[in-house]
Structure 1
């Protein structure tokens, strides 16, 4: 990963580097606030776009992206980038937000924070419409890979021969199969609300809490902001919002109450998110421990019928997964994996600084 990052940085000229390089992780509160400011909309994610680079540099960008993903994860990300061209056709090539091209596969951003491979922590962020990949490296190892967001619009697209392209389809199908397999008593507890929220509940918040994320926050301030920017991103208020609000104790049905077949579905569903990153980095083996799987809660909102708007989340210690498929007739999916304790690696950075930057008094000198 460090070699790929250095190769890309070495290819940049002075002006490109000014945009491409951010301050090292943990440098100060301002630097951390910008590193933790993330998006999944077609807005400015911060960094250097494909448009600002030569084709040879594009290849180096994708080499770095590949270093942080499994083979399947990389294929999915590359497909999501290509869906911008499909979405443009779905919208009859007519959407105009005042820039040269609105649905733009060149509008993906890369920024490296700090010096790759050095003694200090460093990281990188790649993102654009429906992609946000965030990596932190501390003491020579990948210490954090979340938030990790992927979306698909359209979620399903026709292919020749009657096939359908569904980059995130398995994450939808396994969850629906699981919730539909529940007995009536468990289903009543799992389905928190009869309608689905318009978006993932945590939005692009830097921390997981019960704060309402507004639509305008999903976009960096600039020439385009969505209509009703001050409204909740989820479209939920009052008792509906409280039904899906995050609480210290996860809502829904825990894995401990599922039968053996349902537990297999739950673990497979976890794999569709946690296998985005390479073996050795993915926390999926954690769920080989029955106690860890016991603690994962499934919650659902909306219809359980295919093709209708729905939402689900998986929540447990060091885990939050959110999915929604609501818009375009339930053909526009958002799917995010987060670690509420160490998104962006904040706790790892704190431990690193405590170990390597102690004061003389603390060292007893």
Structure 2
């Protein structure tokens, strides 16, 4: 493990302890969960995640004082690069913009529907202790999931960031586009492909309504229903029993996640396209700090060769579209469909060890064997 990676784990532990020390007994009862790898029900809760405005589990900003809000954001910052933190902080503030876009009128039966204080933090286990520990921060369009094992950051996925609106006007004719580069680079890449490669990259002429893997705990080919994007017992949108992607039958099979990635592999791209691909990967993998990000892995040409680009929908700017980058230990999904193609979802996952499941198993085998 690099020194930088160990420093990230230490910063996380210091920030988490400072936050926990600020809480009273009632707050701690909500804020702290069992250590990772505990019993089945506890681990199921740790690995449940959402990106909708639903209960993510933990303590909200509403349940804390302003000084504690600052400690929450210090912990959030410890697990992100500077650019990643700035993007996440912007997405939280977009709740106010979205409220305005919707005329301050959406009512889901709670005091405020579009609410920048409805973000949740929970710590699992004892930060900095000898046992594995982790933390989760999430709310509408944000889900950060971190695990520390043996003093190192063992997992930072799933890592979801969305933006609604994806584009909003600023003074002086500027535009706020928190995820704009991830959209523009992918479109430039797919439009640069030779016709035969472009045909292979296009998995479906129609874009799905959402990312294909949804918020499944494990990346698989299960059809996810819309209701599963929301915690049971809270608000669930209409058409809850319909597929979250809006796809069924042959269309769903065309976009299904399969062990062998679909699309065009990096091995078939020219030098300029490969540089675009690596830069596009950076818009996701650079969300987290140096020493933790797996981006240097793609300095190896063989690793970049194995990344497949798949696209669905139109390649024209302003038209509904979806793309994914899929390869060993990598799944990136993007979609921009709704609100007049002004509502983006962008998620980075590690299909082999989301939530650090394999690292936890190895730790327990080494330290808790009978």
Quickly name the TM-score band, shorter chain normalised: over 0.9
For the residues of structure 1 that align with 2:358 and 2:39, how far apart are their CA atoms? 15
- Tell me the CA shift for residue 162 of structure 1: 0.4
In the alignment, what sits opposite 1:296? Answer: 307
Unaligned 5+ segments in structure 2 are: 1-11
1:101 to 112, 119, 144: 112
In the alignment, what sits opposite 1:363? Answer: none
Answering whether residue 58 of structure 2 is matched by residue 47 of structure 1, we say: yes
- Tell me the CA shift for residue 28 of structure 1: 1.4
For the residues of structure 2 that align with 1:301 and 1:358, how far apart are their CA atoms? 47
1:350 to 355, 361, 370: 361
For the residues of structure 2 that align with 1:224 and 1:7, how far apart are their CA atoms? 33
For the residues of structure 2 that align with 1:50 and 1:290, how far apart are their CA atoms? 44
In the alignment, what sits opposite 1:92? Answer: 103
For the residues of structure 2 that align with 1:110 and 1:223, how far apart are their CA atoms? 18
- Tell me the CA shift for residue 117 of structure 1: 0.4
SS of 1:135's equivalent in the other structure is: strand
For the residues of structure 1 that align with 2:289 and 2:152, how far apart are their CA atoms? 13
TM-score between both structures, scaled by the size of structure 1: 0.98
Give the 5 Å matches for 1:290-329: 290-329=301-340
For the residues of structure 1 that align with 2:221 and 2:135, how far apart are their CA atoms? 28
For the residues of structure 2 that align with 1:248 and 1:340, how far apart are their CA atoms? 10
Q: How many residues align?
A: 359
- Tell me the CA shift for residue 50 of structure 1: 0.1
For the residues of structure 1 that align with 2:51 and 2:155, how far apart are their CA atoms? 18
- Tell me the CA shift for residue 222 of structure 1: 2.0
For the residues of structure 1 that align with 2:207 and 2:239, how far apart are their CA atoms? 19
Cα offsets for 1:41-85 (capped at 9, x unmatched): 000000000000000000000000000000000000000000000
- Tell me the CA shift for residue 144 of structure 1: 0.2
Answering whether residue 213 of structure 2 is matched by residue 214 of structure 1, we say: no
TM-score between both structures, scaled by the size of structure 2: 0.97
In the alignment, what sits opposite 1:165? Answer: 176
Answering whether residue 198 of structure 2 is matched by residue 183 of structure 1, we say: no
For the residues of structure 2 that align with 1:280 and 1:318, how far apart are their CA atoms? 17
In the alignment, what sits opposite 1:261? Answer: 272
- Tell me the CA shift for residue 218 of structure 1: 0.1
In the alignment, what sits opposite 2:129? Answer: 118
For the residues of structure 2 that align with 1:21 and 1:184, how far apart are their CA atoms? 53
2:138 to 111, 127, 137: 127
Give the 5 Å matches for 1:50-89: 50-89=61-100
Cα offsets for 1:66-118 (capped at 9, x unmatched): 00000000000000000000000000000000000000000000000000000
SS of 1:312's equivalent in the other structure is: strand
For the residues of structure 1 that align with 2:99 and 2:282, how far apart are their CA atoms? 31
SS of 1:243's equivalent in the other structure is: helix
For the residues of structure 1 that align with 2:277 and 2:88, how far apart are their CA atoms? 23
For the residues of structure 2 that align with 1:147 and 1:90, how far apart are their CA atoms? 29
In the alignment, what sits opposite 2:348? Answer: 337
In the alignment, what sits opposite 2:250? Answer: 239
In the alignment, what sits opposite 2:14? Answer: 3
- Tell me the CA shift for residue 164 of structure 1: 0.4
- Tell me the CA shift for residue 248 of structure 1: 1.2
SS of 1:320's equivalent in the other structure is: strand
Cα offsets for 1:207-255 (capped at 9, x unmatched): 0111000000000012411101000000000100000001111000000
Off by >4 Å, runs of 4+ in structure 1: none
For the residues of structure 2 that align with 1:272 and 1:191, how far apart are their CA atoms? 22
Judge conservation of contact 2:266–2:304 (CA < 8 Å) in 1.
Answer: yes
For the residues of structure 2 that align with 1:184 and 1:354, how far apart are their CA atoms? 50
SS of 2:137's equivalent in the other structure is: strand
- Tell me the CA shift for residue 31 of structure 1: 1.1
Unaligned 5+ segments in structure 1 are: 360-365
